[in-house]
Amino acid sequence: MAKTLELEFVTEYGKPARLSIENPKEPIEEAVVKAAMEEMIASGVFTSTNGNFASVKGARVIDRNVTEYEIV
């Protein structure tokens, strides 16, 4: 099971921007995620084609399950 934490931001022009983190620390705590996202915005290093990251929109975990079948 491969889990990915997807952080959703809003840029200075009001457009969405995403940043993903593989294998996130669990359990996910909303307050910790929010604080880390605010820290990322405060650092001012992340940008996108739609402008710099300006505010926190949300976060979600994507759980990907792959089942392989041996078909000869």
Partner 1 sequence: MARAIIATSKLRLVFQVGMDDDGKPLLKAKTFNNIQKLATADQLLQAAQAVINLSNETLSSIERVDSSELLA
Q: For partner 1, how many residues bind (rule: CB under 8 A)? A: 23
Distance of CA 6 to the CA centre of its chain: 3
Kindly identify the residues of this chain, within the stretch 33-62, that bind partner 1 according to CB under 8 A: 33, 36-37, 39-40, 42-49, 52
Question: From CA 31, how far away is CA 9, in angstroms rounded?
Answer: 16
Q: Is 19 in the site for partner 1 (CB under 8 A)?
A: yes
Q: Is 32 in the site for partner 1 (CB under 8 A)?
A: yes
Nearest to 40 by CA among 4, 11, 66: 11
Radius of gyration from C-alpha coordinates of the chain: 15
Q: Is 21 in the site for partner 1 (CB under 8 A)?
A: yes
Residue ranges in contact with partner 1 by CB under 8 A: 5, 19, 21-26, 32-33, 36-37, 39-40, 42-49, 52
